[in-house]
Amino acid sequence: MKQALPSASPATGTAAEWWRGAAIYQIYPRSFRDSNGDGIGDLPGITARLDYVASLGVDAIWISPFYASPMADFGYDISDYCAVDPIFGTLADFDALVARARALGLKVMIDQVYAHTSDRHPWFAESRSDHTNPRADWYVWADPKVDGSPPNNWQAVFGGPSWRWDARRRQYYMHNFLAEQPQLNLHNPDVQQALLDVAKFWLDRGVSGFRIDALNFSMHDPELRNNPPAPDDGSVRTRPFDFQLQVYNQSHPDIVLFIERLQALIASYPDTFSLAEVGGREAASEMKAFTQGPERLDSAYSFKFLYAERLTPALVAQALDAWPNTPGTGWPSWAFENHDAPRALSRWCAPQDREAFARMKTLLLLSLRGNPILFQGEELGLLQDDVPFEQLQDPEAIANWPLTLSRDGVRTPLPWTAQAESGGFTDGTPWLPLSEQNLARAVDRQEADNASLLHLTRSLLRLRRASTALRMGGCEVVLADEARLVLRRRFESESLLAVFNIGADEAAWPAEISQDGTVLAAVNGALPGTLPAWGALWMIEGEQA
């Protein structure tokens, strides 16, 4: 067996496609680093720690919303798209962040929320004032039924009907999420133009792209037809939303026409990238539609892994098979964790297996064809925190407690120092509590341990950047059985095998895979011919070895 050394030269595509295969680090600003002692993370806190992010070897950061907001949904209810909320800082702070990121070689992506605004947004204040104002049709309004009830049966994601009565207009307005998040009417060309102007504002400030929140929720059926019931699949349904197929309240086919307008704007700026979040039962087909051809978005990701109860070879194979390397098929992105989904290590393995599983999981995420997205703290192996009810902040968890897993558990602050009471996150009281289990995984402790997951993540990202096959190559699922997964990544003459044992017991080396190759990286004792529990490796094939 030969051991390969990392190359110093990154493998990249054309200058216009820096994003193809780029590794992206998601920052949830409330919980990254607090610079002023109020217990809430902010933009200066991010800027102060960008050296750490750059040291990981990622190509870009994606920052969750920091815009002016009443914070009913912690920034996803926007009251001014072109202003920074004072709790996060100022526009000058944002400009300083972009400048520092650029100096460190990091691209900056930010969230865009086009499906809804806050009910405190001036657009909504004008829209609700009467039926004839210039923005009367900027939101989704409907008359009640003759008995005064809502116009149809649509249900909101966070519970209850998707309609809220407004006495000013004597009509209902639609909301797919909280009642404080009224639905924009994206069928209106003026609304589309207003959102394009927002995108232009941030592109002019130097951002390199957008992650677009809940994009398939951005257009509804104008006929307001009732959603059909969802078949009973035996799962526990905790929300009225789960009892319906979301056929008419979202996913209107005209969304792609807006996408084409948006992408034309984004692509008119150099070195930009567009990424859609797409959830729901039809996510695979919608992601393909949203990214089909150069006139549409560059990439998309779904909740395929984010809410999966188990990680299996079959799950990975199914996800990859949906994104073949064929002309006209979009470029995928992948996330195992984010600000809405529980930590993967708390979902996917037993407590005694977490350290080994985290190493295997990291190598797997970086093996998939597409863009890997790491959520802050994933490089530390952070676990889902159990936030007690009296400290909950998440409105969905509070409304559906105790049956809905709180999003607060993944949003607890990033621990920078293990010894400090607040983990070095703040000099004040953190907005969510830090747990002992995650303080033990703090950055300073892992920096001092060369065998830590943090050091492994840096090493694997460096190796991946140096491999054209891993960054941009095609992907073939060679084997996916009960525990073993073998992927072949290939670009031109470079061919690499990624071999995994996604199981707690030792597995046999696949008979069809040669043991003769150059090991690029290995975790948990894996060697050509040997696959211990949670073992995994990258191996260069053939004459290249």
Q: Which pLDDT score is estimated for 237?
A: 87
**pLDDT, tens digit (0-9, with 9 covering 90-100), for 80-118:** 999 999 999 999 999 999 999 999 999 999 999 999 999
How far apart CA 171 and CA 144 sit, in angstroms, is 6
- Bridge partners (DSSP) of residue 538 are 498, 521
**pLDDT, tens digit (0-9, with 9 covering 90-100), for 523-536:** 999 999 999 999 99
- Percent of the chain at pLDDT exceeding 90: 86
**pLDDT, tens digit (0-9, with 9 covering 90-100), for 31-63:** 999 999 999 999 999 999 999 999 999 999 999
**pLDDT, tens digit (0-9, with 9 covering 90-100), for 196-242:** 999 999 999 999 999 999 999 999 999 999 999 999 988 888 889 99
pLDDT at 9 over 60: no
pLDDT at 391 over 50: yes
**pLDDT, tens digit (0-9, with 9 covering 90-100), for 458-477:** 999 999 999 999 999 999 99
- At the topology level, CATH places domain 473-544 in Immunoglobulin-like (2.60.40)
Across residues 484-497, what is the average pLDDT?
Answer: 96
- At the topology level, CATH places domain 16-117+189-462 in TIM Barrel (3.20.20)
How far apart CA 66 and CA 43 sit, in angstroms, is 8
Across residues 365-376, what is the average pLDDT?
Answer: 98
pLDDT at 15 over 80: no
Domain ranges of the chain: 16-117+189-462, 473-544
Q: Which pLDDT score is estimated for 371?
A: 98
Task: Check 42, 119, 277, 337 and give the catalytic one.
Answer: 277
DSSP state of 183: B
What is the band of 454 on the pLDDT scale with cuts at 50, 70, 90? Answer: very high
Across residues 511-527, what is the average pLDDT?
Answer: 95
DSSP state of 175: -
**pLDDT, tens digit (0-9, with 9 covering 90-100), for 498-508:** 999 999 999 99
Q: Which pLDDT score is estimated for 406?
A: 78
Strand residues in 21-177 grouped as ranges (E): 24-27, 60-63, 67-68, 80-84, 107-113, 141-142, 163-166, 171-174
pLDDT at 11 over 70: no
How far apart CA 409 and CA 340 sit, in angstroms, is 9
108: its two tokens: 């900056």
Helices (H), 307-377: 313-321, 344-348, 354-365
Closest CA to 412 of 435, 390, 429, 428: 435
Q: Which pLDDT score is estimated for 13?
A: 40
Q: Which pLDDT score is estimated for 393?
A: 79
Q: Which pLDDT score is estimated for 36?
A: 98
492 is catalytic: no
How far apart CA 514 and CA 496 sit, in angstroms, is 12
277 is catalytic: yes
Whether the Cβ atoms of residue 182 and residue 174 lie closer than 8 Å to each other: yes
Q: Which pLDDT score is estimated for 231?
A: 94
Across residues 419-438, what is the average pLDDT?
Answer: 93
How far apart CA 373 and CA 377 sit, in angstroms, is 12
What is the band of 544 on the pLDDT scale with cuts at 50, 70, 90? Answer: low
Task: Check 213, 286, 340, 394 and give the catalytic one.
Answer: 213
How far apart CA 309 and CA 481 sit, in angstroms, is 18
pLDDT at 70 over 60: yes
How far apart CA 333 and CA 375 sit, in angstroms, is 13
SS (H, E, C) 479-516: EECCCEEEEEEEECCEEEEEEEECCCCCECCCCCCCCC
pTM here is 0.95
What is the band of 404 on the pLDDT scale with cuts at 50, 70, 90? Answer: low
Across residues 178-193, what is the average pLDDT?
Answer: 98
**pLDDT, tens digit (0-9, with 9 covering 90-100), for 321-349:** 989 888 888 899 999 999 999 999 999 99
Across residues 140-157, what is the average pLDDT?
Answer: 98
Whether the Cβ atoms of residue 463 and residue 327 lie closer than 8 Å to each other: no
Distances (CA, A) of 244 to 83, 252, 492, 530: 37, 16, 47, 47
pLDDT at 2 over 50: no
The mean pLDDT of the chain is 93
